[in-house]
Structure 1
Amino acid sequence: MGGGRGVGTILSVLIYSKNWRLRTKSDIWLPSIKSPSVTSFIRKTMIKIRAAAKHTPTFTPFVRLQSGVVWMGLRDHRLGCGAGHGRGLHERSERRVEADTVAVTVMIDLFPTTSDQNMLLEVQRAVAAHAETEDRFDEIRTISGVDQAFAGEKVISGIVTLDYETMEEKDRAYAIVATEFPYIPTFLAFREGKAIVSAYGKLAHKPELLMIGRCGINHPRSAGLATHIGVALDIPTIGVSKSILCGRSEQPAGTGSVHLLMYGGRQIGWVLKSKENCNPIIVAPGHRVSMESSIEIVKHCLRGYKLPEPTRQAHIYANLVKRT
């Protein structure tokens, strides 16, 4: 976070007057969140704000995820706007509000550089809480693969966009970012996430779905890199990895065969034999993709190699950038 204050949370209290005109804004710095979850913390905060503003009958909480920031606030249900419609308190409305409106926004840095494990776990809990494992995407016309390479203290993120039917390349972009975070197993999003977000922003045409060469919900805290990126950007993602991070599964026999990956009594992904004489790959939903669709999409993208074409091409591209 900015201002040299280290890692923490900014609680922004915004008071809107009629027609959503911002009247006042104040920021309160919180060094850390001590509550068991971010959601619990902000719910308690909003109850206090609503009581103080005396708007409890007409205001309800909303949650929105955008560009690496979790936005939580209050919405006036008389206007019918909020996270469910992709709209929130930051948009103007044609209808008048007869009284002042109070909005509370908590901004959580989803890619902090701290090594404080409590803070990292708090962020991962927020990511897991907001991840969706149901299909919420348009017809897939293009799909992008994402993979990383490393050069010294820098991470190189390569993204290659392909036509979903033909697997022909349509776009590519990369970003090189200094690694501000050390390598810690199960916390890769904090090391690699910023580079992916930067590369994604450079794409001329955004795909309907990202396939990321890392874990999705097949993670001890259901917050692998693919899930983290999906939640941060609020885009559909699938994770494809080469080894099991957590969970158990039978080994698939022949090419194309698949087995469930189970952890804690629930399915967290698939183990897929994608090519003969190769170890299987692990497939899991990241965000806004169902368990069933994740394996169907990956199978569709196989073209005779161990890795599906999007992540295979991204791997080649990231290493090409590294060499040049």
Structure 2
Amino acid sequence: MDIEDLHPWPSSAEEGLALQERLRGLVREEPGPAEVRTVAGLDVSYADDRVAAAVVVLDAATLLPVESAVAVERPSFPYIPGLFAFRELPALLSALRRLETVPDLLVCDGHGRAHFRRFGLACHLGLLTGLPAMGVGKTFLVGEHVEPGRERGSFTDLVHEGEVVGRTVRTQTGVRPVYVSVGHRVDLDAVTRHVLALSPSYRLPETTRRADRLSREALRAPESGPASAPPPASAPPGR
């Protein structure tokens, strides 16, 4: 798939901060695609000086795998809170370029608008690909929220500096919530709807679960191994 060349890659924290400030105004919030047929989960794992980025494309109706790709690289940007995108994006973009499928929605393990500068990884990936994108965080990065009800589907707003930047969503009754936010070309209602549809049996969406597993497997493989992988064979989610 094609990736836009929006900017030179920053070499320092100062350049990264300035770039986030400049690009955040380009993010669009809208209802999103009328029909989502394929959805891609993106996640990264680390080992020593390597980062493995995995993209797993699922059929949105069945949540069964359609295609997957991985890329194992050595990050060149330092580990700085709020600037993780610059450490992880190069490998994620390498994996995305290996896909034949252009997914209708990107689901990132991380944040979008729920970020110090309203421009997390999901926003950056959405702009670079031009695709609808959303963030699903295991923990929240910024903001305050009231705990949602115990029942699956309950949610409350995530608020930072007086602005609603995301939602705290209970994807399974009685389990810890996840933290969702807009990346690009979707809105909060769409993000909430999608995370529940992608999480029929577990706290985390199937997109994140499968991408996380694939990225970890890639780090255990020899460094000379394949850069892409076939869809993992498995039963439907929850089995």
TM-score range, shorter chain: 0.7 to 0.9
Deviation digits for residues 34-80 of structure 1 (CA, Å, limit 9, x no counterpart): xxxxxxxxxxxxxxxxxxxxxxxxxxxxxxxx83433xxxxxxxxxx
Q: When the two structures are superposed, what TM-score results if normalisation uses the length of structure 2?
A: 0.87
The CA deviation at 1:153 is 1.1
Percentage identity across paired residues of the two chains:
31
Aligned: 1:282 with 2:218: no
Preserved contact between residue 3 and residue 97 of structure 2 (Cα < 8 Å) = no
2:88 paired residue among 192, 195, 216: 192
Equivalent residue, structure 1, for 2:75: 179
Task: Determine if contact 1:138/1:208 at 8 Å carries over to the other structure.
Answer: no
1:191-217 Cα deviation digits (max 9, x unpaired)? 001111110110111111110001111
1:310 to 201, 207, 217: 207
Is the 2:144–2:159 Cα contact (8 Å) retained in structure 1?
A: yes
- Bigger shift: residues 240-249 or 269-278: 269-278
Does 2:5 match 1:69? yes
Aligned-partner SS, 2:219: helix
C-alpha deviations, 1:4-56, integer Å up to 9, x for none? xxxxxxxxxxxxxxxxxxxxxxxxxxxxxxxxxxxxxxxxxxxxxxxxxxxxx
Quote the offset at 1:136 in angstroms: 4.3
| Whole-Å separation in 1 of the counterparts to 2:31 and 2:84 | 25
Comparing both structures, which one devotes a greater share of its residues to strand? 1
Q: 2:170 aligns with which of 244, 262, 273?
A: 273
CA separation of 1:138 and 1:286: change in aligned 2, threshold 3 A: same
CA separation of 1:185 and 1:68: change in aligned 2, threshold 3 A:
farther
* Alignment match, 2:105: 209
2:159 aligned residue: 262
TM score, norm. by length of structure 1:
0.65
Which of the numbers 161, 167, 171 marks the counterpart of 2:63?
Answer: 167
| 1:263 to partner: Cα distance | 1.4
CA distance in 2, matches of 1:322, 1:167: 25
What is the 5 A alignment of 1:85-100?
none
- Residue 240 of structure 1: aligned partner: 136
Q: CA deviation at 1:155?
A: 1.0
Instruction: Answer with 1 or 2: which has the greater Rg.
Output: 1
CA contact (8 A) 2:123 2:183 kept: yes
SS for the counterpart of 2:175 is coil
User: What code does the residue aligned with 2:137 have?
Assistant: S
**Are 1:227 and 2:123 counterparts?**
yes
Query: Runs of 5+ in structure 2 lacking a partner?
Result: 222-239
Consecutive aligned runs of 4 or more in structure 1 exceeding 4 Å deviation: none
- In the alignment, which of 2, 21, 35 is matched to residue 139 of structure 1? 35
Instruction: Considering Cα pairs closer than 8 Å and 6+ residues apart, tell me whether 1 or 2 has the greater RCO.
Output: 2
Q: CA deviation at 1:134?
A: 1.1
Task: Provide the rounded CA distance (Å) in 2 between the counterparts of 1:68 and 1:193.
Answer: 13
Q: How does 1:95-174 map to 2 (within 5 A)?
A: 108-109=7-8, 111-112=9-10, 114-117=11-14, 119-137=15-33, 139-174=35-70
- Using the alignment, how far apart are the partners of 2:215 and 2:34 within structure 1? 28
SS of equivalent residue, structure 1 residue 69: coil
* Whole-angstrom distance in 2 between the partners of 1:137 and 1:190: 27
